[in-house]
Amino acid sequence: MAKYDVIVVGAGNAALAASVAARNAGAGRVLVLEKAPEEMRGGNTHYSGGLLRIAFDSAEQILRLVPKARELAGFVEGIEAYPRDAFWSDLRRMTSNRTDPELAGILIGNSFDTAAWMVEQGIRFEPAISLGAVRVGNAIKWPKGAIVRAVHEGVGLSRMWFAAAQRKGVEVRYSTPAIRLVTDSRGRVAGVVVRDSGGVHELSADAVVLGCGGFEANAAWRAQYLGRPWDHAKVRGTPHNQADGLRMALEIGAMPWGQWSGCHATPINAAAPAFGDRELTDKTNRLSYPYGLMINRLGLRFVDEGEDQAFFTYAKFGGIILNQPGGVAYQIFDAKVRHLLEPRYATSEPVTAARLDELVGMLEIDRETAMRTIDEYNATAGNGSFNPGDRDGLTTRGLALPKSNWAQKLETAPFTAWPVTGGITFSFGGLKVNDRAQVVGTDWNPIPGLYTCGEMVGGLFHHNYPGGSGLMSGAVFGRIAGANAAREGA
């Protein structure tokens, strides 16, 4: 029987970080199992925007990750430090104070060092200019803490990770799902059972790292844990994250942890495909709603579009949209903000009209109510100055459901409407891990030989999520898992 030092299940950001860290820590034979065929490899990481949320104290630190950005006009001027305290307070606020404090401390405390470590492994970064950044005067205003992304976004990140793993001599097997964990008589995880074109085999290892995603692509698990209407949700990423790792770990007594009824879901083009498109990747996102209004089929607003910057609301608004009648809504903008829409809006055609009533007449919507909603909004909006780079406090006055920032009147023709639905990104429920990324059992003891990372780690995210935290968490816990797994056989 083949024997490895470390077997890593999955081939996304977290798993490949783990495989590289395992080799760096001295593991001799490291095997990555990828369920997908080679042309579908890389999990959600491939589809991602490649954005990383990083705690840092000065622009100079960020320049260590993106040295060439010094030449980008307005780059340094627009950077605001994002100290650990700020990341902490965002994560607490987003999760209604439910984030697991031990895990959050590990994520935040290691974020910058891990990004710098990724650079050492050959991952290249660039300013995330088309994601949420807006030019204000001479400066580019960045969403707080979300400044850096992988070159060529998720596609590039995935490709760079595979190249890094190859340079380190990691073996990768495609079309080879792990289907079961193997335990020895003492309860130690001693390998995995895999299925490939040759049949079903057992592979043994000193340690196994599970980095094979959540249950977002599995309609039955979505129905079971998230409830209706999540079985009908479109999946933004890979079709391969079908809960396999969670199931395998729970079967041997791993402890579920975190918010199993919660997930990350974002407003996406209503015409997006059922699963992610490998070319379009994250370009179906529609995240410029803070500058407009969102109206459902009943003609009603249903969220405070200006509650916060999009990176602090997008991950919960997707689910709220999915729960509207028909699972859809319309994002409506006027011409004055058109230049502020993220470039990815260009991947679909909006409904356009010279008058608001004409626009509303072209939508599948209760027209009378929609016009009343817009008129009431317009009567209470536009009381101050608009600043797209920051929460500007330009709020409606007297509306039961306010728009708290960026509340300009919808008045300048032409008007556009973008049909959106909620697309699921990843599930929040996962496994309990300790500070070594070891999976903890329902007896509260670590399961010997078993580690996990990425989406499979439970407890960090509840209800909502600050943009860029998923990849950062994957890299942080992947690196920790791989290094500790390598020591099991030493």
Question: Which listed residue (4, 21, 23, 45) binds ligand FAD by CB under 6 A?
Answer: 45
Cα diameter, the chain? 74
Q: Are 363 and 324 in contact (CB under 8 A)?
A: no
Rounded to a whole number of angstroms, the minimum distance from the CB of residue 32 to ligand FAD is 9
x/- mask, ligand FAD, residues 200-219, rule CB under 6 A, reads: -----------xxx------
Under rule CB under 6 A, residue 35 binds ligand FAD: yes
Under rule CB under 6 A, residue 110 binds ligand FAD: no
Rounded to a whole number of angstroms, the minimum distance from the CB of residue 118 to ligand FAD is 13
Under rule CB under 6 A, residue 9 binds ligand FAD: yes
x/- mask, ligand FAD, residues 423-462, rule CB under 6 A, reads: --xx---------------------------xx-------
* Residues 110, 57: Cα–Cα separation, whole Å: 14
* CA-derived radius of gyration, the chain: 23
Task: Report which residue type is found at 132.
Answer: G
Rounded to a whole number of angstroms, the minimum distance from the CB of residue 126 to ligand FAD is 13
Phi, psi at 439, each rounded to 5°: -75, 135
Rounded to a whole number of angstroms, the minimum distance from the CB of residue 464 to ligand FAD is 14
Q: Which two three-digit tokens encode residue 19?
A: 């495989």
Rounded to a whole number of angstroms, the minimum distance from the CB of residue 77 to ligand FAD is 24
Under rule CB under 6 A, residue 50 binds ligand FAD: yes
Pairing of strands 199-210, 3-9: parallel
Residue count, binding to ligand FAD (CB under 6 A): 44
Question: Which listed residue (5, 31, 48, 66) binds ligand FAD by CB under 6 A?
Answer: 48
- Dihedral sign of CA atoms 315, 251, 106, 41 in order: negative
Q: Are 128 and 48 in contact (CB under 8 A)?
A: no
Under rule CB under 6 A, residue 14 binds ligand FAD: yes
Nearer to ligand FAD among residue 327 and residue 468 (C-beta): 468
Question: Which listed residue (10, 143, 318, 430) binds ligand FAD by CB under 6 A?
Answer: 10
Whether residue 414 is preceded by a cis peptide bond, meaning omega within 30 degrees of 0, is: yes
Nearer to ligand FAD among residue 214 and residue 350 (C-beta): 214
Nearer to ligand FAD among residue 374 and residue 481 (C-beta): 481
The interface with ligand FAD within residues 212-251 (CB under 6 A) comprises 212-213, 236-238, 240-241, 244
Question: Which listed residue (127, 143, 177, 318) binds ligand FAD by CB under 6 A?
Answer: 177
Under rule CB under 6 A, residue 468 binds ligand FAD: yes
Phi, psi at 342, each rounded to 5°: -55, 145
Nearer to ligand FAD among residue 51 and residue 91 (C-beta): 51
Distances (CA, A) of 377 to 324, 397, 410, 411, 470: 20, 9, 8, 11, 35
Under rule CB under 6 A, residue 144 binds ligand FAD: no
Q: Nearest-CA neighbor of 415 among 288, 285, 292? A: 292
Under rule CB under 6 A, residue 289 binds ligand FAD: no
Nearer to ligand FAD among residue 279 and residue 364 (C-beta): 279
Under rule CB under 6 A, residue 416 binds ligand FAD: no
- Dihedral sign of CA atoms 47, 53, 54, 59 in order: positive
Q: Are 32 and 165 in contact (CB under 8 A)?
A: yes
Q: How many residues does the chain have?
A: 490
Distances (CA, A) of 186 to 133, 183, 215, 238, 248: 53, 8, 29, 36, 18
Nearer to ligand FAD among residue 276 and residue 327 (C-beta): 276
DSSP letter assigned to residue 285? B
Under rule CB under 6 A, residue 145 binds ligand FAD: no
Q: Which two three-digit tokens encode residue 345?
A: 């809006």
Question: Which listed residue (7, 8, 11, 287) binds ligand FAD by CB under 6 A?
Answer: 11
* Residues 490, 486: Cα–Cα separation, whole Å: 7
* Residues 450, 186: Cα–Cα separation, whole Å: 13
Contacts of residue 65, defined as CB under 8 A and 6 or more positions apart, other chains included, come to: 54, 115, 116, 119, 125, 148
Rounded to a whole number of angstroms, the minimum distance from the CB of residue 136 to ligand FAD is 23
The interface with ligand FAD within residues 339-398 (CB under 6 A) comprises none
Burial 438-464, CB ≥16 within 10 A → b, else e: bbbbeeeebbbbbbbbbbbbbbbbbbb
Neighbours of 346 (CB within 10 A): 9
Identify the H or E element spanning 178.
strand 178-183
Q: Tell me the window of 33-41, 82-90, 326-334, 480-488 that interacts with ligand FAD (CB under 6 A).
A: 33-41
Rounded to a whole number of angstroms, the minimum distance from the CB of residue 18 to ligand FAD is 9
Rounded to a whole number of angstroms, the minimum distance from the CB of residue 409 to ligand FAD is 32
Rounded to a whole number of angstroms, the minimum distance from the CB of residue 119 to ligand FAD is 17
Identify the H or E element spanning 483.
helix 469-488
Under rule CB under 6 A, residue 43 binds ligand FAD: yes
Under rule CB under 6 A, residue 36 binds ligand FAD: yes
Positions touching ligand FAD (CB under 6 A) are 9-15, 33-36, 42-45, 47-51, 177-178, 211-213, 236-238, 240-241, 244, 276, 281-282, 425-426, 454-455, 468-472, 474
